[in-house]
Amino acid sequence: KYKYHVILFTFFERKRSSPLWLCFTLVWFVTVTIAPYLLLRTNHWNSNYCSISVAEDLRTNHWSKAMDHPLTLRLAALCVLCVAALCPVRAEDDDGGRHWALLVAGSTSYQNYRHQADICHAYHIVSKHGIPDERIIVMMYDDIAFNPANPFPGNIINQPNGPNVYPGVPKDYTKKELRPDVFLKVLTGDAEGVEKILGRKGKVIKSGPKDRIFVNFADHGGPGVLVFPTKMLYKNELHSAIEEMHKNQQYSQMVFYVEACESGSMFSNFTALQHLNVFATTAANPDEPSHGCYSDKTRHTFLGDVYSVNWMQDADRENLQQESLSDQYQVVKNETTSSHVMEYGDLSISELPVADFLGSSVSKSLYFTPERNAPPHPTLDSVPSQDVAQEILMMKISSSRGEEQEKHKEELMNLWQRKKDSEAFFKSVVAEVADASLFDYYVEMPLEFSEDFSCYRQSVELTMELCPGMDLTQNDYALRKLRVLANLCESNIPAQQIWRAVASVASQAPICA
C-alpha cells in the first residue's frame, strides 16, 4: 500500500505550485471519502469480499483504515492519473526556478496592427505552454482591436484566416503607460519605480537567481534604439539594465527575441553580453530594416512581421521540449529571407530547449491543429517596415472610389513629401558639419557604436524636441536616417558642433514647423 502513498506524494510535490492543485485536492477528497460512502449507501460495493471489507470499515467510522484499504488506494491512484493527464506541466524547472515572460508591442496606430498581433500571438504561445498570467507581463497600446478602422471589432489575427488572438490577453500596461522607463522598471523588478512613474502599482518581474526570463519586443527601431509611442529606449539603457539584473542575481538565463528595424544594433558590439547569461536573436542585422508581411486587403493592414511570424509558427508546430533555441534560430534564419536574422550573447544558452523559456507544458498552442492548412510563406508579400504605410495607402486607393479614393491619394502624396522633407533635414545637418555630398556616405557607412553614447543620444533627443513635425517615433523612414547622426558622432566630429547643426537646421526646416 505504501507505493500508492509515494505516487500521491510525488504528484502533489510536483503540482503543488500549480493553480490546479486545488482541483486535485477536491477530486482526491471525493474519491476517498464521499464516493465510497455513496457507493456503500447504494450497495454498489457489496459484490465481493474486498468491497464488503471497505464497507464495514466505513460503517464503523474507521475512516483511516478504509483509506488504507487496497481498493481505496487503487481508486485514488486512478484519480491521480486522470488529473495528471489533464494538468499541464508546470512552468518551473527541477531546481525550483520559474519562467517569466515580458511581451511588448511598442507602437501605436492602426497601420502598425502587426506589432500588437505579434504580441497577442506570443502571449497565447507562452500561456498555452504553461506560464501563468501572474508571470506574464504584456505591454501594448491596445488601440487596434476596437479601432474604428478595424472592420472586425474585438478581433486581431496574426496570419491569413487565423484565429482571433486578442481575447484573454492581459492588459498590464496600455496607452500612455507604454514608456521605455516603465519597461526598464518592469524588467528589473522595480515595483516602487513603476508606482512612482505611473501613480499606481503594476506587475513587474520578481525573479530570482534560478529563474529564466523571456523578453519579446515588436515595434519600430533604428540605430541603437527601440521605439515607444513618444520616447526611445536606447541601447546603453538596455545594457545597463541587463548588467544590473545580472549583478543582483535576478535570473539564471534570459532570452530576447526582438522584432524591429536595425534591431541587431541593440546587441552588436556588446561583448559583455556573452558573460551575462543572455541570448538574443533579432529580426535584422544592425544595418537593415525588418519586414512586415501578410497584407490584408479587407483589414487594410499587415497582419504580422516576417521574423515574428516565423518563430511563432515554428513554436506552434514543434515540441518545444525537444527543439533547442539553436534549432529554432536556424529555422527562422532560413525562413526569413527578407532580412538577416542574427544571434548574440551567450550562444551556449541556445543549446537549451525552447521550453526552458516559452514554457514546458506539452499542450498544443492556439494555432496548431492537424486539420488547419499551413499559412502562406510570410516572405511572399513582405514589405520593408518603412514602406508599410505606403503599401497600406495604395491598398486603400485600389479598393475605393470617388472622394474617398481622392482622400487616400492626398494622404499618399503627403507621405511622400514627409519622406522627402525628412531626408532633407538630415542632409542639411551633414552639410552643416561636413559637406552635403557626404550624405550618402554617412547613410551607408557601417555602424560601430562606441562606449560613449551621449553624443548620439543627445542628437536624437534634440531632433525630437526641436523638430516635432517630423514625428520621429511615428516616422519609420526618418528612424532609418538616424544612422547619419550616429555615424557623425562616431567620426570624431565634436558633439557640440553636431548639436548646434541639429538646432540650426530644425529652426529652418519646413518639416519642423
H-assigned helices in 173-300: 180-187, 191-198, 235-247
Query: H helices then E strands: how many in the chain?
Result: 19, 12
Q: Across 268-315, where does the E strand assignment appear?
A: 278-282, 291-296, 301-305
280 beta partners = 256, 344
CB 174 within 8 A of CB 142: yes
CA atoms within 13 A on the CB side of 411: 15
Q: How far is CA 118 from CA 158, 204, 358, 457, in A?
A: 6, 21, 15, 29
Closest CA to 351 of 324, 387, 328, 329: 324
Choosing from 115, 121, 220, 291, the catalytic residue is 220
Sign (positive/negative) of CA torsion 249, 250, 253, 257?
negative
The helix or strand, by DSSP H or E, that contains position 343, with its residue range, turns out to be strand 342-345
- Residue 182 CB burial class (10 angstroms; 0-12, 13-18, ≥19): buried
Does residue 220 carry a catalytic annotation?
yes
Choosing from 120, 261, 467, 489, the catalytic residue is 261
Question: CA-CA distance, 164 to 306, in Å (whole number)?
Answer: 19
CB 136 within 8 A of CB 126: yes
88 beta partners = none
Question: CA-CA distance, 325 to 357, in Å (whole number)?
Answer: 9
Does residue 62 carry a catalytic annotation?
no
CB 336 within 8 A of CB 363: no
Question: CA-CA distance, 151 to 118, in Å (whole number)?
Answer: 19
Cβ-Cβ contacts under 8 Å for 215 (sequence gap 6 or more): 101, 102, 104, 187, 254, 255, 256, 257
Q: Which residues are catalytic?
A: 220, 261
